[in-house]
Amino acid sequence: MSIKRRLLYAATALSVGAISSLSQANEPIQPIEPVKEVNVALAELGKKLYFDPRLSKSGFISCNSCHNLSMGGTDNLKTSIGHNWQQGPINSPTVLNSSLNLAQFWDGRAADLKEQAGGPIANPGEMAFTHTLAVDLLKSIPGYVHEFRLTFGNDEINIDQVTDAIAEFEKTLVTPDSPFDQWLLGDEDALTADELAGYKLFKDSGCVACHNGEAVGGSSFQKMGVVEPYQTNNEVEGRVAVTGVDADRFMFKVPTLRNVELTYPYFHDGEAQTLTEAVDIMGRLQLGRQFTDGENAQIVAFLKSLTGQQPSFQLPILPPSSENTPPPQPFE
Amino acid sequence: MSIKRRLLYAATALSVGAISSLSQANEPIQPIEPVKEVNVALAELGKKLYFDPRLSKSGFISCNSCHNLSMGGTDNLKTSIGHNWQQGPINSPTVLNSSLNLAQFWDGRAADLKEQAGGPIANPGEMAFTHTLAVDLLKSIPGYVHEFRLTFGNDEINIDQVTDAIAEFEKTLVTPDSPFDQWLLGDEDALTADELAGYKLFKDSGCVACHNGEAVGGSSFQKMGVVEPYQTNNEVEGRVAVTGVDADRFMFKVPTLRNVELTYPYFHDGEAQTLTEAVDIMGRLQLGRQFTDGENAQIVAFLKSLTGQQPSFQLPILPPSSENTPPPQPFE
């Protein structure tokens, strides 16, 4: 290739890039950006805490138990298992890309990841510990004392620092570079014809009204059962529990559809085991539309193109307890 | 440095190496060798299976639940938590360096890691699954079907392959390069004076009679309570359950002391919470010797020098279930 041709080629590539940026700007879904501006020491500490079952009464349940980073940041159970094998009330939402949510939990009762992180630790049905016991425990572990000192520059350990660190780690759990994002960024070959047809159906039939933006969801509360009521034995009532407003009954945070291939089963009650089932129910109850089998399969194909790069990191090695560390109490 | 002096220097270094090899050969403990000859594809598959809770009835318990590689390959509980929060009968032994054991389980009822790996999956008190269900489940997961085909070169999945893969992964879980091993290999500065004094006590008082070799244990069955009987409410009787021979009552496999700093609590019943307590009890019951506080502390210092390099690898990402995968049954 002559220099002249190379320059011409570069200019063309540039203009293609500019065009695809433009077309991307017109789509209701935006690509996930890789995470920037991470406090690395804080996130590394948070990673250890995230994997540490000593933050539970039993010494057996960690954040990763129900938001398993080997499994799409969920437990893939209808509803979660808590302390003493208690059956949780609700399906464990994925931690992946959760920093993009307008609020945390299905009912949005936590404003952000930091506020969320303290919840399960002290929930008697989940980790069944207390913030005081968790902090006392960490203070008894020399490796943590050292790492908190390095990270925060003081000799204190408190729950604020604990949840700060966990939230900072969770900020890193974004999943960019899905086939769909590659397509959004201009790679026309990144999607199959079925995936593209599914995306067109997803837009044209109104799914994007709620499932939009970078997380393809997570940006609003919506009623479960708009056209038809949703039938479930699950007793959770959604956002009304936070606001007390009757109109918020059965309003739930719209879940992200990023990595939805990995986050089965679906809905707040986990009653839809497969994507096929979930798409069918959403079509009928939310949009009043019965998708044909072919349409359903195309939408499912599109949804599977939303699986991004999963978080990739070394399994953390936890600092050992000391002789002063209170032992866990799994059976008391 | 002249070439002559360099040669002289090299010759000296060589002879120091030879001397330290000699002195190491005279010690009752040998350094752990880094693992060689691993079937990488098989071990990578085994790593996924090791972390996969879908091999349990509940979908919640994986090998890593009770042999947690963030925590010395144990659960750090007195006795383990199984399906439906059942209290296990015995303390979970570390998976680290378990390939060096003469047999597996406290009573040695499995000849090797491969035989061991099938046990917990089908144990109603642990993962509460069956081998048939586990294999059927794996067959329903396209990512596993693909990986088994790549690894074994055929279209079959059976429990033999599953346990082969898990055992191959476990073979990689050796922990070389502890401070004590550095000392064994000739680095005189690798141990403190207390650690060395502790090692001398450990040898001179007879601990090495059982805790010797590469794993500092794991090479014989011995009676728990030689000089004095061991008092416990735990009902497990040890090797007699395997042999039926009355003389094997309270005979247990001598546990490895590698990484013992991380594998608390101690003994088959997990009743010794700290190393101090474990050393004291072992001294009195096995050797008829009451260590002073100072001696105890030195032995503990030596034992902590047995903490080696922990396994270092990326958290595995598990292949997702398909629409044909039977859902887990945590509450049935």
For residue B116, the model assigns a pLDDT of 96
Can A40-171 and A179-304 be said to share one CATH topology?
yes
Token couple for B246: 């009355």
Contacts of A53 in chain B (CB under 8 A): 68, 71, 75
**Share of residues in chain A with pLDDT > 90 (%):** 92
Whether B328 and B127 have beta carbons less than 8 Å apart is answered as: no
pLDDT (mean) for A169-181: 98
- Residue B330, chain A, CB below 8 Å: the answer is yes
User: Distance between CA A52 and CA A321 in Å, rounded?
Assistant: 11
Identify the pLDDT of residue A12: 41
Given a cut of 50, whether residue B16 has pLDDT beyond it is no
What residues of B are in contact with residue A318 (Cβ under 8 Å)?
Answer: 70-71
Question: Is B71 a residue whose pLDDT tops 80?
Answer: yes
Q: Does B9 touch chain A (CB under 8 A)?
A: no
Is residue A17's pLDDT more than 50?
no
Q: Say what the pLDDT of residue A259 is.
A: 98
pLDDT at position B11: 40
- What value does the mean pLDDT take over residues A31-56? 97
Q: Which of B57, B79, B318 would best serve as a mutation to test chain A binding (most A beta carbons within 10 A)?
A: B318
Catalytic site residue from A44, A126, A168, A195 = A126
- Residue in chain A closest to B321 (alpha carbons) equals A262
The answer to whether residue B52 neighbours chain A at the CB level (below 8 Å) is yes
Contact assignment for B312 to A316 by CB distance below 8 Å: no
The C-alpha angle with vertex A144 and arms to A143 and A146, in degrees rounded to 5, equals 70
Position A332 scores a pLDDT of 86
The mean pLDDT value for A58-81 works out to: 98
Residue from A223, A197, A195, A218 nearest A306 by CA: A195
Region A254-274 average pLDDT: 98
Mean model confidence pLDDT for chain B: 93
Higher pLDDT, B47 or A9: B47
Kindly state whether B313 is in contact with chain A, defined as any CB-CB distance less than 8 angstroms. yes
Q: Tell me whether residue A126 is one of the annotated catalytic residues.
A: yes
Q: Is B53 left (phi over 0), alpha (psi -120 to 50) or beta?
A: alpha
- Nearest-by-Cβ selection for A320 from B262, B312, B313: B262
The predicted pLDDT at position B15 comes to: 42
Is A83 annotated in a binding site? The answer is: yes
CATH fold of A179-304 reads Cytochrome Bc1 Complex; Chain D, domain 2 (1.10.760)
Residues 245-274 of A with CB under 8 A from B: 261-262, 264-265, 273-274
Flag whether residue B60 sits within 8 Å of chain A, measured between CB atoms. yes
Q: Nearest residue on chain A to B329, judged by CA atoms?
A: A77
Q: Single out the residue of A114, A145, A118 nearest to residue A132, CA to CA.
A: A118
pLDDT tier at A277, thresholds 50, 70, 90: very high
pLDDT of residue B14: 42
Nearest to A85 among B78, B85, B274 (CB): B85
Q: Where residue B332 falls among pLDDT bands split at 50, 70, 90?
A: confident
Q: Is B207 assigned a ligand-binding role in the annotation?
A: yes
* Mean pLDDT, residues A291-297: 98
Query: What's the residue count for chain B?
Result: 332
Q: What is the ipTM of this complex?
A: 0.93
> pLDDT digits over B75-134, tens only?
999 999 999 999 999 999 999 999 999 999 999 999 999 999 999 999 999 999 999 999
Helix (H) or strand (E) holding A221: strand A221-223
Q: Which CATH number fits domain A40-171: 1.20.1070.10, 1.10.760.10, 2.60.120.10, 1.10.10.10?
A: 1.10.760.10
SS (H, E, C) B113-148: HHHHHHHHHHCCCCCCCCHHHHHHHHHCCHHHHHHH
Q: What does the pLDDT average to over A5-23?
A: 44
Q: How far apart are CA A299 and CA A287, in angstroms?
A: 14
Statement: residue A187 has pLDDT above 80: yes
Q: What is the mean pLDDT of residues A156-185?
A: 98
Please state the domain extents for chain A: 40-171, 179-304
pLDDT of residue B6: 42
Of A11-20, A85-94, B191-200, B295-304, minimum mean pLDDT range: A11-20
Mean pLDDT computed over every residue of chain A: 93
